[in-house]
C-alpha cells in the first residue's frame, strides 16, 4: 500500500487489529479522498430518497427544513457565485473562525466539512477497527454503522431507555474495548433528548481509549445545551455540527467537527476535500443572523405541537419529540404505511428494523402538516 497509506497509518491499523487484507478497502478510501464508498446521507434515506414525486407532493421524509436558507445566506450565495471559478479557501477559514468565536474555543479545535456525515465516516475509520467496536443506539442514525460494516468493525447496538434517551450506562459497558461511542442528541429518528448530565457521565466513565462522538445536528431545534465545554476541557469527545437542519442548508452542504486538535488530526488522515464556497459563505452568514435560531426553533415547535395534539386527539401512538422529526406507530408494517401515504401524495420517512411498525415523519410547514393529518387519518382508517 506504499504511496497510499503511509507507514504511520499502516502501523496504527495493525495495532487496532486490521489485517493487511483489510488495508485494501481503507487504502481505496484514502485514494478516493472524500468519496467514501459506502452510503451517504441521500443514499441512507432509502424510502426517503424520492425521484418521482409529483410536483404537489408533501415532502416530509428527509428531515429537511422547508424554510430553506435565511435571507442573509441567500444573498451571500448570490454574491459569491460569480467567483465560482476560484477555490477561495479563505471562505472556509472565515467559517472556522466564526464557529470558534461562537463556541468560545480555539480555531484549531474546529474543522470544517461538507456537512457532518464525512466527519462521522472518518471518525469510524480513525477510532474503530475489528477489535475496537462502534457503540450506537437502536434506533439511531445509521451512517456510522454503514461505515463500520464496510471496514469490518463490530457494531454494538444498545436499545433506548423507556423514556427514549440513550442508555449511557449500558453504552459505557457495552464493550470494554469500544473505539467510538456515538450519541445523536436529540436522537435521529426518535427526536428525543438525552440529558447533558448523562452525556457527561458517559464521557467520565467510558472505556479507556475510546472516543465519544456527540452529533448535535438537532440540538439547536431542541434548545438543549451544547457540549463545547467538554472540548474546552480537553475531553475525549468529538462534536458534530451541521447547517442542514435549523439553518435550512441541506443542499448547500456545510458542517463541522469540534474536538481537541489531535483528535481532529486523526479524522484528517482519512480524507480531505475542497469546501464549496457557496456553502461556506451561506454558513457564515447564517451564524451572523441573530434571530434565525430562536425564531425557527419557535416555528418548528408550534407546528410540531399542533401535530402532536392531532395525534393525541385521535389516539395515535407516537414518540414525543423535541426535534423536527418524530416516530409514529402505524399498527402495521411501516413500509406498507409509507406506500399508502404516497398514494395520498404525502411522502414520509423510513422504517427502522427495531421498530418495524413505526415510521419517521419530518415536521414540515403548517400547511404541509395539515395535509399529513388528512392523509394519515385516511390511511389509518383504511
CA–CA dist 254, 268 (Å, integer): 16
Of the chain, the percentage scoring pLDDT greater than 70 comes to: 87
DSSP state of 315: T
Q: Using an 8 Å Cβ cutoff, are 286 and 73 in contact? A: yes
Instruction: Report the pLDDT value the prediction gives residue 109, as an integer from 0 to 100.
Output: 98
Q: DSSP string of 44-86?
A: HTGGG--SS--TT-EEESS---TT-S-HHHHHHHHHHGGGTTS
CA–CA dist 124, 142 (Å, integer): 12
Helix, strand or coil, per DSSP, at residue 209: coil
Q: Using an 8 Å Cβ cutoff, are 262 and 235 in contact? A: no
Instruction: Report the pLDDT value the prediction gives residue 275, as an integer from 0 to 100.
Output: 94
CA–CA dist 2, 57 (Å, integer): 52
Greatest C-alpha distance within the chain: 64
- Residue recorded with cell 434565525: 292
Domains in the chain: ranges and CATH:
41-68+292-381 (3.90.1150.10), 71-287 (3.40.640.10)
CA–CA dist 346, 343 (Å, integer): 7
DSSP alpha helix (H) spans, the chain: 7-15, 20-31, 41-44, 71-80, 90-103, 117-127, 143-151, 168-173, 196-205, 219-222, 228-232, 261-268, 277-287, 292-313, 334-343, 366-381
Helix, strand or coil, per DSSP, at residue 175: coil
Q: What is the value of pTM for the model shown? A: 0.90
CA–CA dist 32, 249 (Å, integer): 25
Taking only the tens place, the pLDDT of each residue in 128-144 is 999 999 999 999 999 99
Strand-pairing partners, residue 110, are: 258
Nearest to 65 by CA among 280, 275, 292, 285: 292
Q: DSSP string of 332-362?
A: S-HHHHHHHHHHTTEEE---BTTBTTEEEEE
Tens digits of pLDDT across the chain (382 residues): 444 556 666 666 666 666 655 655 665 555 554 455 554 554 444 445 677 788 999 999 999 999 999 999 999 999 999 999 999 999 999 999 999 999 999 999 999 999 999 999 999 999 999 999 999 999 999 999 999 999 999 999 999 999 999 999 999 999 999 999 999 999 999 999 999 999 999 999 999 999 999 999 999 999 999 999 999 999 999 999 999 999 999 999 999 999 999 999 999 888 778 899 999 999 999 999 989 999 999 999 999 999 999 999 999 999 999 999 999 999 999 999 999 999 999 999 999 999 999 999 999 999 999 999 999 999 999 8
Instruction: Report the pLDDT value the prediction gives residue 273, as an integer from 0 to 100.
Output: 83
H or E element at residue 238: strand 237-242
Strand-pairing partners, residue 14, are: none
CA–CA dist 365, 248 (Å, integer): 13
Q: Using an 8 Å Cβ cutoff, are 80 and 277 in contact? A: yes
CA–CA dist 47, 349 (Å, integer): 7
Amino acid at each position: 500500500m506504499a504511496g497510499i497509506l503511509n507507514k504511520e497509518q499502516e502501523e496504527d491499523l495493525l495495532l487496532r487489529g486490521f489485517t493487511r487484507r483489510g488495508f485494501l478497502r481503507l487504502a481505496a478510501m484514502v485514494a478516493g479522498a472524500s468519496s467514501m464508498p459506502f452510503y451517504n446521507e441521500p443514499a441512507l434515506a432509502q424510502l426517503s430518497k424520492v425521484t418521482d414525486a409529483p410536483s404537489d407532493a408533501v415532502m416530509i421524509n428527509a428531515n429537511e427544513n422547508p424554510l430553506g436558507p435565511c435571507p442573509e445566506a441567500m444573498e451571500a450565495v448570490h454574491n459569491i457565485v460569480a467567483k465560482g471559478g476560484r477555490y477561495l479557501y479563505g471562505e472556509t477559514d472565515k467559517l472556522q473562525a466564526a464557529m470558534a468565536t461562537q463556541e468560545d474555543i480555539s480555531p484549531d479545535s474546529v474543522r470544517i466539512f461538507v456537512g457532518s456525515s464525512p466527519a462521522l465516516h472518518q471518525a469510524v475509520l480513525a477510532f474503530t477497527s475489528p477489535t475496537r467496536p462502534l457503540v450506537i443506539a437502536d434506533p439511531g442514525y445509521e451512517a456510522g454503522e454503514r461505515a463500520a460494516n464496510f471496514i469490518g468493525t463490530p457494531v454494538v447496538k444498545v436499545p433506548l431507555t423507556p423514556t427514549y434517551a440513550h442508555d449511557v450506562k449500558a453504552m459505557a459497558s457495552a464493550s470494554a474495548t469500544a473505539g467510538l461511542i456515538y450519541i445523536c442528541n436529540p436522537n435521529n429518528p426518535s427526536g428525543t433528548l438525552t440529558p447533558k448530565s448523562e452525556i457527561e457521565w458517559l464521557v467520565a466513565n467510558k472505556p479507556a481509549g475510546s472516543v465519544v462522538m456527540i452529533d448535535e445536528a438537532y440540538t439547536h431545534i431542541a434548545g438543549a445545551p451544547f457540549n463545547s465545554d467538554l472540548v474546552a476541557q480537553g475531553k475525549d469527545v468529538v462534536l458534530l455540527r451541521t447547517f442542514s437542519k435549523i439553518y435550512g442548508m441541506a443542499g448547500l452542504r456545510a458542517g463541522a467537527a469540534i474536538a481537541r486538535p489531535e483528535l481532529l488530526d486523526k479524522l484528517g488522515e482519512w480524507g480531505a476535500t475542497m469546501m464549496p464556497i457557496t456553502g461556506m459563505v451561506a454558513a457564515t452568514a447564517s451564524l451572523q443572523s441573530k434571530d434565525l435560531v430562536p425564531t425557527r426553533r419557535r416555528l418548528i415547535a408550534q407546528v410540531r405541537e399542533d401535530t402532536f395534539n392531532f395525534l393525541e386527539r385521535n389516539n395515535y401512538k407516537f414518540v414525543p419529540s423535541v426535534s423536527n422529526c418524530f416516530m409514529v406507530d402505524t399498527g402495521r408494517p411501516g413500509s406498507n404505511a409509507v406506500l399508502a401515504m404516497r398514494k395520498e401524495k404525502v411522502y414520509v420517512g423510513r422504517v427502522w428494523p427495531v421498530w418495524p411498525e413505526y415510521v419517521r415523519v419530518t415536521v414540515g410547514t403548517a400547511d404541509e402538516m395539515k395535509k399529513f393529518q388528512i392523509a394519515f387519518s385516511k390511511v389509518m382508517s383504511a
